[in-house]
Amino acid sequence: PLYAESIPAWQLRVATLTHRLAYLLMFAMPLSGWLQNSAAGFPLTWFGLFKVPALVARDKAMFAFWQQTHEVLGWMLMALIAVHVLAALKHHFLERDDTLRRMLPGPKG
């Protein structure tokens, strides 16, 4: 939903940045996992339906790099989700605005 008009400009900028970072992390997480899996030389199958081609050749150093990258991205995504939840709860309980209600499914009336 669109942001409420009562939200200050700095919060709009932070919210926009947070949402963009969340989408970036949601793209980077599976990609780094795929690269990690490829560097490990372990065949990756998509839900057991078909094999996914390796993106890089088997390489222990690259495996370690992508493993670390995947872990750091995972922690970043979890932290971002926690901040997002806390911000929504802050709006709901402290600011008492409609931000959380507007995010939830169902009628907005």
Convert the pLDDT of each residue in 2-48 to its tens digit: 788 888 999 999 999 999 999 999 999 999 999 999 999 998 898 99
Q: 69-97 pLDDT, tens per residue?
A: 999 999 999 999 999 999 999 989 999 98
Residue 27, classed as helix, strand or coil, is: helix
What is the percent of the chain with per-residue pLDDT over 90, rounded to a whole number? 73
What's the pLDDT at 109?
A: 59
H or E stretch including 44? strand 44-46
pLDDT band at 101 (very low <50, low <70, confident <90, very high): confident
Mention every residue, 6+ apart, whose C-beta is less than 8 A from residue 100: 88, 89, 91, 92
List the Cα angle 67/70/75 in 5-degree steps.
Answer: 125
The predicted structure's pLDDT at residue 102: 85
| Cβ pair 39, 63 in contact under 8 A | yes
pTM of the predicted protein model: 0.86
Helix ranges (H only) for the chain are 9-40, 60-90, 99-103
